[in-house]
Amino acid sequence: MLGVGVTAVMVVMECLAVGLVTLTKAAMNKGMSNYVYVVYSTGFGTTFILLPATFIYYRKRGCRPLTASIICRIFFLALIGSCLQICSFAGIRYSSPVLGAVIADLTPAFAFILAIISR
């Protein structure tokens, strides 16, 4: 019975991913900039997903000290993530939403290859 639930969640996530790519392509066709779309998606994710999650899941634990190393790591992860989103949205702008949805399915394969390379 657990396998059916996992499969259903995977199908729903794929449908949501295809919907997101289609919505992105529609916004790009209407004239929205890649940079504006990245700012909106990051703001939406931070406000409606990350902020409530911190109050729900991390309420019982104390905060770790914020060091310069952690701040640098957060900065570089945000920079790399934003650059990758901008490149992804530029690719969606110049291609079809079908190609964007298919490339999203290749992400686990790329992660596996990078994991093998970096050991």
The tens digit of pLDDT for each residue in 1-24 reads: 666 777 888 888 888 877 888 888
Kindly report the pTM of this predicted structure.
0.63
Does 10 fall in a domain?
no
List, for residues 34-92, the tens digit of each pLDDT value: 888 888 888 888 888 888 877 777 666 677 788 999 899 989 988 888 888 888 888 87
Domain that residue 37 falls in: 23-57+67-118
Query: With 0-12 CB in 10 A as exposed, 13-18 as middle and 19+ as buried, what is 88?
Result: middle
User: For the chain, what is the domain count?
Assistant: 1
Does 112 fall in a domain?
yes
Cα 99 to Cα 70: distance, rounded to the nearest angstrom = 36
Does 16 fall in a domain?
no
